[in-house]
Amino acid sequence: MPEIFTKKNITILLTVLFLGAVIYISFGFLPVLKVEGTSVSYSEFQKVYGAIGSFDKISRKPDPAGGGGNSAAPEEMKKMALESIIESRLLDELIKEANPELAKKAEEILQKTLLENKNLSLDEASKILYGISAADFQKLVLLPQAKKDALTDYYESNPERLADLWTALLKSAKVQIYYPGFYWENGEVHPVRDSSR
């Protein structure tokens, strides 16, 4: 009977597992967080984080002393990226709860906005301002805003109800952050400040 747990076989197995992990991480499949059971990949986080960083670099005020201006700290930008992704996912949950047809309305608002601004070079503007493609700009910036607009229109006669639903959703949301240095508590992303977490 052949021996399967030889040193050679174990070395091959460990090498394959290591290479698999490297490929898995390299292609951005590693989950950064989970919102209401839906995982968010590292590659999506990187897009949002990169967009925030690009916009911050362009929008910061020049420093009178000749420096580049006051830029947000990398940890603050990571927190903003996590918050942006969580907000986008929770908007989807709120739309499902309020009226699933609002998802279509948000898409219509997005398409209308794009049609009304045909002369605007979305490719160029999204690259310059956010460092992302036009498709990513639509998905990460325009569509979440269209969802907010659709919800605002839907609750136009009762905006307090929308605010109450949003607050309740934030507090009850099931969010797990796997990205090191941050955690979710009481509807907010918090940086880990001590070693007890």
Q: Where are the domains of the chain?
A: 44-59+72-170
Give the per-residue pLDDT at 177.
96
Q: Collapsing DSSP states into helix, strand and coil, what is residue 28?
A: coil
Give the per-residue pLDDT at 167.
93
Angle at which helices 101-116 and 143-154 cross, to 10°: 120
Give the per-residue pLDDT at 82.
96
Task: Flag whether pLDDT at 26 surpasses 70.
Answer: no
Rounded distance, CA 104 to CA 125, Å? 26
Q: pTM for this one? A: 0.77
